[in-house]
Amino acid sequence: MNETEQKVTETAQDEPRTAEATAAVPAPAEAVPPTELEIAESPAPVPSVPSERPKTPPKGSRSYELIFLVDAGLPKGDLNGLIEKLQTFIEQRDGAVENVRVSDVRRLAYEIKKRTHGVYVVVNFWIQPAHIAELERMLRLDDRVLRHMVILTRAS
């Protein structure tokens, strides 16, 4: 610290604080209602996963992460239906869904099936390894899914 900085800090410490100085907080400006353009550009709410799903890993299963990409123009009801279809698929085969994350609309680095924007969905789950090929086949046949990838996350 140089001498002037040191003097400024010493004088600031020596001055007693008054209630007026600490309570002097500027009043917030009036809230301006958003315009229609701002409303249209605001991010969409992320669908939530019901909390009653079991989170314990079934015996003999492994931990996987599925990431898939859907078209940005897909209605929210269809996206939620697709996520629910995946969850029931996993649970019917004695698996457990840990977590589902849905991103906002993102611009793709390159066109995929003539689409330039998409929504990423990440699903963490536990399932027996024998069912992964069936899951990938289901995703490959679904026209709503542009790309998908299943990764083994933890070695068991």
Which CATH superfamily does the domain covering 68-152 fall into? Ribosomal protein S6/Translation elongation factor EF1B (3.30.70.60)
What pTM did the predictor assign?
A: 0.63
Please give the pLDDT value at position 15: 52
Please give the pLDDT value at position 25: 47
Please give the pLDDT value at position 59: 83
Residue with tokens 């990440």: 122
| Crossing angle for the helix pair 76-92 and 132-141, to the nearest 10 degrees | 160
Give the integer Cα–Cα distance in Å for 95 and 127: 4
Per-residue pLDDT of the chain (156 residues; tens, 9 = 90+): 555 555 545 555 555 554 444 444 444 445 445 544 444 444 554 445 444 555 667 788 899 999 999 999 999 999 999 999 999 999 999 999 999 999 999 999 999 999 999 999 999 999 999 999 999 999 999 999 999 999 999 765
Please give the pLDDT value at position 36: 47
Residues with Cβ within 8 Å of 68's Cβ and at least 6 positions away in sequence, in order, are 120, 121, 123, 139, 145, 146, 147, 148, 149
Tokens for 146? 């542009």
Give the integer Cα–Cα distance in Å for 82 and 48: 13
Please give the pLDDT value at position 154: 78
Please give the pLDDT value at position 60: 85
